[in-house]
Amino acid sequence: MSSQTKSEKARELLRSMGEVRNTLRQYISVRIREEEIDITFELLEILAYLYKKDGVNQQEIADLMLKDKSSMTYQIDGLVKRDLVRRMEDENDRRNKLIFLTEKGKGLQTVLQSWVGELYDKGVSDIDEGEIDTALALVQKMNENLKS
């Protein structure tokens, strides 16, 4: 029987999840440098969101990434400068800016998905699908509990 309490085990699980995220971040950052792509990990996170949902309000991205408006504006400016996204006025509310991927931004998606796929394949190489399903359900349940 384990000497750790339920709460201690949960802390260890969350710490380990953070380590996995940091490992992913380090791997992607190394690949960015190796491929000499002019982008940061933080900017890639914004692109990843836009790959799922292009043409979203800048504030929605800021809220998702837990960034304040000025930080997000600065990061979006960096993506615009690199010709990876463009800002367009929201026809329904001219105060809002919608962020769209450019062709160059869309072109990075295949490369990025390949890198992430390689890393995830390596990470789960000796884990069966049932274990992944169980872990996913657990993390989703913890997230729901924390939000309620």
Contact yes or no for 54/101 (Cβ under 8 A): yes
- pTM metric for this prediction: 0.79
The domain spans of the chain are 6-115+123-147
pLDDT of residue 1: 54
- Digits of tens for pLDDT over the chain (148 positions)? 568 899 999 999 999 999 999 998 998 899 999 989 899 989 999 999 999 999 999 989 999 999 998 999 999 999 999 999 999 988 888 888 899 999 999 999 988 888 888 988 999 999 999 999 999 999 999 999 999 9
Contact yes or no for 120/132 (Cβ under 8 A): no
Q: Which one is the CATH code of 6-115+123-147: 3.20.20.70, 1.10.10.10, 3.30.499.10, 1.10.1740.10?
A: 1.10.10.10
pLDDT of residue 2: 65
- What is the DSSP pairing of strand 56-57 with strand 85-90? unpaired
Q: What are phi and psi of 126, to 5 degrees?
A: -115, 25
CB atoms near residue 44 (< 10 Å): 21
pLDDT of residue 125: 95
State how far the Cα of 67 lies from the Cα of 143, in Å rounded to an integer.
20
